[in-house]
Amino acid sequence: MDQAPAPKLVEHDLRAAILGELHARPFHPLAAPRRLIHLGFMTDAAAAGADRARLAAFAARHALPGPVDGAKQHRLALPEANLRWEQHSEFTTMTWDFACALPSGDSAADFPPPLPTAILATIRALAAPGPLLVAADLLLLAEEGGPAMTRIFDPASLAAASADHGAAVIATDFRPRPSPLAEAGAVMLLVRDRGMGETRAGALVQRVLEIETYRTLALLALPETQRLMPVMARIEAGLARVTHAMTETAGGLETDHRLLDELTRLAAALEAEAAASQFRFTAARAYDEIVAQRLGAIGEAALDPWPSLSAFLARRLAPAMRTCQMLERRQDALATRLARGANLLRTRVDVAIEQQNRDLLRSMNARTALQLRLQHTVEGLSIAAISYYVLALIGHVLDGLAARGWLLGLSSVAVQAMAVPPVVLAVALLLRRVRRHASAEAGHTERP
C-alpha cells in the first residue's frame, strides 16, 4: 500500500528574516592598495524610504539590480568604484571603495590625496539622504611604501596599534582633513596590510570604519547633555526654593497649593526633557558598547610609543559617555526628589483639608445643637400656644354648657382650670409623635 505523503511543514513568518540576519552585512575582500570613502547620514523613516527609491533608480541607470524590499544593505559594482549601502535605525551609510595609487608626497599636506574626478562625480551622483554626520577617508596600503605615520598624522593626536594578531597596523589622529565631500572635512584613517589576505583585510577595514561611525554617533549625546545641564540646574534650584519654603514657613492651604503647583510644573518640565532625550542617551549607550565590541574584535596590541585606538578613545570618548550617564542619573535622582517633595506637600495639603473638615464638622455640630435647642424651645412654645387655644375652645364649650345648667353647679372656670394639665400633656404627646413620625420618614432616629 502506498504511504500518504508527509504533510508540508509550516514555517514561521520570520524564519527567513532571522536566518538572514546573521549574514545581513557580510565582509567583502579588499586588496591593497585600496581607498574607501565612508559617509554616514542621519535619516528618519521617510528619508530612509526615499533613499531606497533613489538607490534603486541609481542602480537602474547603471543597469544594475537595486535593493530588494526590506533589505538593509546592498552592494553595487560600478565601473569606477564599488558602493556598499547600509541602512540602520536612524542613519544610512555609503561606503565607496576603489583602487588607488600610492600617494606621491610624504607630508601631512599630501593626505588625503585628491579624489579622482570620475570617483567624485560618481559619489555626487547619488544624492545625500539626510544630514551628513560621518565622513571617513581610509587608505588600505601594503606594509611597504608610502610615508611614515608621523608624517601623515598629527603626532600629538596620533593613535596607532597592531591589529589582527600583528597582521595589520591601524593609525589615525581622528582629525578631519579638507575634503570636497564635506565642508567640515573627513577623518583620515590608515590601515597597513602585513599579510592579512583580502578577506581578513575586508573584515578589518569594515570594523575600523564601524568604530569611526559608532563613536561619532555615540558623541551625539554630548551636545544634548550640555543643553540639558542648565535646564537641570534651573529645576534643581526651583526644587530647593520650594523645599526651603516648606521648612521656613508654616504656610497654609493656599500657600501649600501654590507650592504644589510649582512642584508639579517642575516635574512636568523634567519629564518633558527626559522624554525628549531618552532615545539619544539610550542610543549613545548602545553605540558605545558597539565601539567597545569592535575594538575587541580587531585584536589590538600596543604599538609603542603611541596609544592604541582603545586607549585614545578611553581617554577622549569615555569621559563624554560618563558625562551623559551622569546626567541620566541626575535626571532620575531629581525626578525622585521631586516626587518625594510633591508627596510631602500633598500630605500637608491633605492634613490641612482634614483639619478644615474637622473644624467645619465641629461648627456644623455646634449649629445643629443650637438648632436643636431652638427647636426644643419652639416646641415648648408651640405646646403652650396650642394648649392655650385648645383650652379657649374648651372654655367656650363650658360656657355654653353652664348657660344651660348642664355643669351640675360647677363653675366653667374651675372645670377649664382642671382641664389644663391633661390638655397640655395631650398636646405634648401629640407633637412628640408627629416629630418622631417626621424623623422616621427622613430616615433618622431620635433618642427618647
> 167-191: per-residue pLDDT in tens?
999 999 998 988 888 888 999 999 9
Of 322, 354, 386, the residue at which a domain comes to its end is: 354
The percent of residues above 70 in pLDDT, for the chain, comes to 89
- Work out the number of other CB atoms within 10 angstroms of the CB of residue 184: 10
Among residues 345, 334, 323, the alpha carbon closest in space to that of 270 is found at 334
Same domain, 204 and 225: no
Kindly state the DSSP code that residue 407 receives in the 8-state scheme.
T
Same domain, 226 and 77: no
Same domain, 191 and 234: no
Kindly state the DSSP code that residue 13 receives in the 8-state scheme.
T
Cα distances (Å, whole numbers) of residue 420 to 84, 113, 322, 414: 119, 131, 100, 10
Q: What is the mean pLDDT of residues 23-40?
A: 86
357: confidence class by pLDDT, cuts 50, 70, 90: confident
Among residues 246, 187, 247, 240, the alpha carbon closest in space to that of 213 is found at 187
Q: What is the mean pLDDT of residues 360-372?
A: 82
Q: How far is the C-alpha of 350 from the C-alpha of 347, rounded, in Å?
A: 5
Question: Which SS3 state, helix, strand or coil, does residue 84 take?
Answer: strand
Among residues 235, 322, 333, the alpha carbon closest in space to that of 281 is found at 322
Tell me whether residue 9 is in a domain.
Answer: no
Tell me whether residue 213 is in a domain.
Answer: no
pLDDT at 22 over 70: no
Same domain, 238 and 174: no
Question: Which SS3 state, helix, strand or coil, does residue 96 take?
Answer: strand
> 265-288: per-residue pLDDT in tens?
999 999 999 999 999 999 999 999
Q: How far is the C-alpha of 11 from the C-alpha of 4, rounded, in Å?
A: 21
Instruction: Provide the grid cell at 151.
Output: 608624517
Tell me whether residue 345 is in a domain.
Answer: yes
Of 248 and 60, the structure prediction assigns the larger pLDDT to: 60
Among residues 100, 95, 181, the alpha carbon closest in space to that of 145 is found at 100
- Work out the number of other CB atoms within 10 angstroms of the CB of residue 18: 9
Same domain, 197 and 329: no
Of 367 and 136, the structure prediction assigns the larger pLDDT to: 136
Q: What is the mean pLDDT of residues 442-448?
A: 51
Q: What is the mean pLDDT of residues 416-430?
A: 78
Q: How far is the C-alpha of 122 from the C-alpha of 83, rounded, in Å?
A: 10
Same domain, 171 and 290: no
Among residues 271, 303, 351, the alpha carbon closest in space to that of 164 is found at 303
pLDDT at 345 over 60: yes
Tell me whether residue 15 is in a domain.
Answer: no
Which class for 205: exposed (0-12), middle (13-18), buried (19 or more C-beta within 10 A)?
A: buried
Tell me whether residue 107 is in a domain.
Answer: yes
Say if CB 339 and CB 333 are below 8 A apart. no
pLDDT score recorded for residue 446: 45
Same domain, 263 and 195: no
Q: What is the mean pLDDT of residues 302-307?
A: 86
Q: How far is the C-alpha of 67 from the C-alpha of 76, rounded, in Å?
A: 9
Tell me whether residue 10 is in a domain.
Answer: no
Q: Which domain holds residue 298?
A: 221-354
Phi, psi for residue 38 in degrees, rounded to 5:
-115, 120
- Name the E strands within 180-232: 182-193
Same domain, 41 and 187: yes
pLDDT score recorded for residue 445: 46
Q: What is the mean pLDDT of residues 346-363?
A: 79
Same domain, 121 and 202: yes
Same domain, 177 and 28: yes
pLDDT score recorded for residue 219: 94
Q: Euclidean distance between the first and final Cα of the chain, in Å?
A: 101
Total domains in the chain come to 3
Tell me whether residue 2 is in a domain.
Answer: no
Tell me whether residue 163 is in a domain.
Answer: yes
Same domain, 381 and 414: yes
pLDDT score recorded for residue 243: 84
371: confidence class by pLDDT, cuts 50, 70, 90: confident
pLDDT score recorded for residue 255: 77
pLDDT at 149 over 90: no
What does pTM read for this prediction? Answer: 0.76
pLDDT at 224 over 90: yes
Same domain, 79 and 145: yes
pLDDT score recorded for residue 216: 95
Kindly state the DSSP code that residue 178 receives in the 8-state scheme.
E
Q: Is the peptide bond before 305 cis (omega within 30 degrees of 0)?
A: yes
